[in-house]
Amino acid sequence: MKFLERAVAVAIAVAGRNAVASILDPDVGEGFRFRDRTVESAVKKLVQVSSPTESILQVDSITAIQETTAGSMHPTSGGYFAPFGFNEPPEALYRRNGSLARLAPIINVAAEALNQPIPTNKWWGNLIHITALNTSENFPAWAQPYAFMLPRVPPYGLMAYYPYTYREMAPEINGTVQWYSHGVHNDLTFSALGFNETRPTYEVYSWSDVGIKLRLCDRGTTNCIDSALLSGMAFVSATYNCLTPRIDTEHNITYVDELAPGKFAIYLNNNQTWMLYASDTSLSLRVEDSVTFSVNASGSSLVADDMYSGTIRVAVLPEGAPDTLYDDYVSCIVRGGTVSMESRTQYSLHWDAVGSSCDTVGLLHFALPHHVESMIDSPITAETPGAITLRSTTRGLMVGQVSMCWSFCVPEADMEIDFYPAQKPTPFMVQETDMLRTLQDDILANWTMATNSWYFNGKALQKYASLCLMAADSTVVGSDTTLLALCIEKLERLFEPLLNNTMSPPLVYETLYGGVVSGFIFDTDQLYMDFGSGIYNDHHYHFGYYVMSAAILKYLDPTWYLMPELDDLIWMLLRDVTNPSLDDPVYTRFRHFSWFHGHSYSRGVTLLDHGKDQESTSEDLNFYCGMTLWGRETGHKVLEDLGSLMLRLNAHSVREYFLLSTGNKIHPPEIVRNRVTGIFFDNKVYYNTWFLNEKYAIHGIQMIPFSPVSPLARTSAFVTEEWNDILSKEPIVTMKNSNNTWLSVLLVNAAVVNKMDSLYKLMNATMDDGLTRSWALYMAATAG
């Protein structure tokens, strides 16, 4: 689709989406007054409010609903978030392919939302992804602290649960606990009479930086349940339009308390208590026991007596908390959230919410630990009197904040973000390791690129580009420039096939989601060829190597005659991974990076039982380092500042959640002893990799590629602890004459602990495929 055609399509889609939203989006009324509660406890009692008296949660007529926000919408496309470009990749270079509609089709997305770039690698991806190989499985999406599923078997509806209740820990084997995760259970499902006879239509019709809006409709009608699922949401909300509510659970409902008009406490036999608030006090509910939903599902239900139009909200009650805990916050309903960037060191999350109490009381919303640490305006902490806390699955304790906007400070790094480390190698180390001769050998060697892999080719390209940085360092080469000239010439020859897209496999512009992918998937119909690049997996890893290498070349030879073509390529890759603007009609906004979680996600558009994940934090950081330096070398200060902020925020999250020093409170102590998480899912921490279950690989993948920004995440204290506790005991380290290539990676890292020992061993170690001996010696000599 040409740009103009796509722009028109997007405009039509937005208009259609807003038209639907104007009918379905909830509007909270002005009234909020706490009433003296009347408690009428009874096991499996009938809950009924007979007269339409004043409710704690009050919602105006569903037919008059408007999408309004407390406060103004914040710009998402100007300033730091200005678009990188508007044009599609030239079709003469990048052929079009729409085969993902067959190989990895989109489900549960409204038609009016499809004529725009579709997000990938998002926490809610499980709700809209299937593959041709697996069309039957269905997995949750973890918003934190709640998780959600759209069931494909009865009971149908919006299934919500509090996963921390169901934590499971692997047994200890040989001193190691390899994983912990959380079971999937139907705590409460928002449903309606008639849904179980005919499955409703599930439709995601809008998304924001932190979540989605969706509707569940009785087939063939406009009678729907509308909800917004957002990271950190304190309540699960469902707005009914002309449906008879039914709330299903796999548990037994032991009893229900009517605490005030429109306010109920639901006690389940799994020791959970859920608070329920209804906007219309004419709602009456009855308990149904021993309900069979399907062949393999049974439980209990709360069923309304009549058709209902109004909002129902639920929230799990923390253990020991009073049933008044949520009362002050129930009539401020969050509907979305956007990120803004104010400076190199400050960004904000703006919550779009409806309800008069948003202005008078504020929005209750749960923050993760790294949020609380970075908030500017007196955040509520776990120690604050009256703080409301719930547990996330894999990111620790969440603390409720009461604000319509969260602003954060991410300080400048102690070290400069640069091509070179903060300290250069000493003349003694250069001479002792014969670094210049080694560099000459590496530059004169045969430089080869892999075939059929954008990942391995990217690793090779940055490996060779790093040699040119060394050749430009007078501490290594003195005043001689001939080696640098040769290195640059060889590097530019490697870039040439990238510029005309003749490297195998070529890049393709994929038209279903909107992005550039490895074309190998379309030649083979195999989803995970080239590490899943064709299904948008790991683009931040793969393309980061090219962005970083191009920044190096731009720094060393800015007047190269093919530099305009290189500019086009790199801006295209940047747009694919981290386009910051909603105004870009070709690429989705922030494909991998989550501003709520503070790091990137992988797994593309596939369905996965534990959600999206991140395996290699160091490769994630490498992308944003390259983005920062590309911005610097091209004179785009806005890009440099954006990349720098994302890099530093990312490093903070890596230190908080992925690299586990003593005293880490995020994960169980049994996991902290492993020192790294391994594969970090939304629902599981798995001390492993996708490719090799060996400790040296589990730790090593968090180290590569070595760059001057590695210490932003891998502090000297952490590296020392990791080495002493785990890596120094690995057989590939303790045995003599090991030829395992991962040893070279571990030794560069270990230079922080014992520099000279690492240097001497690196002179003879077998090198990893992404590492030259020269660069290994250089990075080890400058460590610490």
The answer to whether the beta carbons of residues 400 and 66 sit under 8 Å apart is no
Distance CA 514, CA 508 (A): 10
The answer to whether the beta carbons of residues 728 and 699 sit under 8 Å apart is no
The 10s digit of each residue's pLDDT in 160-195 is 999 999 999 999 999 999 999 999 999 999 999 989
The 10s digit of each residue's pLDDT in 477-517 is 999 999 999 999 999 999 999 999 999 999 999 999 999 99
For 356, how many CA atoms within 13 A lie in the half-sphere containing its CB?
10
What is the rounded average pLDDT of the residues 389-410?
99
The 10s digit of each residue's pLDDT in 188-231 is 999 999 897 889 999 999 999 999 999 999 998 999 999 999 99
- The pLDDT of residue 37 is 30
- The pLDDT of residue 58 is 55
Distance CA 142, CA 571 (A): 32
Averaged pLDDT score across all residues of the chain: 91
- The pLDDT of residue 133 is 79
Please state the φ and ψ torsions of residue 520, each to the nearest 5 degrees.
Answer: -60, -35
Nearest alpha carbon to residue 652 among 400, 373, 446: 373
Tokens of residue 362, six digits: 């504020």
Residue ranges per structural domain of the chain: 3-66+147-329, 607-784
The answer to whether the beta carbons of residues 559 and 579 sit under 8 Å apart is no
Distance CA 310, CA 649 (A): 40
Distance CA 678, CA 373 (A): 24
- The pLDDT of residue 274 is 98
- The pLDDT of residue 715 is 98
> Cα(first)–Cα(last) distance of the chain, in Å?
52
- The pLDDT of residue 451 is 77
Tokens of residue 221, six digits: 């009608």
- The pLDDT of residue 136 is 83
- The pLDDT of residue 363 is 98
Q: In which band, very low, low, confident or very high, does the pLDDT at 281 lie, cut at 50, 70 and 90? A: confident
The 10s digit of each residue's pLDDT in 71-127 is 333 445 579 999 999 999 999 999 999 999 999 999 999 999 999 999 999 999 999
The answer to whether the beta carbons of residues 455 and 766 sit under 8 Å apart is no
- The pLDDT of residue 12 is 33
What is the rounded average pLDDT of the residues 452-457?
94
Tokens of residue 544, six digits: 């980061």
The 10s digit of each residue's pLDDT in 291-345 is 776 656 678 999 998 999 999 999 999 999 999 999 999 999 999 999 999 999 9
Q: Where are the beta strands (DSSP E) in 602-717?
A: 613-614, 679-681, 684-686
Distance CA 630, CA 751 (A): 29
The 10s digit of each residue's pLDDT in 376-395 is 989 999 999 999 999 999 99
Q: In which band, very low, low, confident or very high, does the pLDDT at 284 lie, cut at 50, 70 and 90? A: confident
The 10s digit of each residue's pLDDT in 548-564 is 999 999 999 999 999 99
Collapsing DSSP to helix, strand or coil, 744 comes out as: helix
Tokens of residue 721, six digits: 């602890």
Fold that domain 3-66+147-329 belongs to in CATH: Beta-galactosidase; Chain A, domain 5 (2.70.98)
Collapsing DSSP to helix, strand or coil, 419 comes out as: coil
Positive or negative torsion for Cα 369, 373, 378, 383: positive
What is the rounded average pLDDT of the residues 263-280?
95
Spell 515-540 as b/e; 16+ CB within 10 A means b: bbbbbbbbeeeebebbbbbbbbbbbb
544 pLDDT above the threshold of 50: yes
For residues 360 and 284, the model is more confident at: 360
Q: Which residues contact 67 (CB under 8 A, 6 or more apart)?
A: 18, 21, 22, 25, 335, 354
679-to-43, 602, 651, 690 alpha-carbon distances in Å: 44, 10, 17, 8
The 10s digit of each residue's pLDDT in 529-542 is 999 999 999 999 99
For residues 672 and 24, the model is more confident at: 672
Distance CA 191, CA 301 (A): 10
- The pLDDT of residue 27 is 43
The answer to whether the beta carbons of residues 132 and 101 sit under 8 Å apart is no
Tokens of residue 112, six digits: 């009016």
Position 255, amino acid:
Y
For residues 737 and 7, the model is more confident at: 737
The answer to whether the beta carbons of residues 613 and 677 sit under 8 Å apart is no
445 pLDDT above the threshold of 90: yes
CA dihedral 684, 685, 690, 696 (to 10 degrees): -170
Cis before 140 (ω within 30): no
Distance CA 565, CA 74 (A): 35
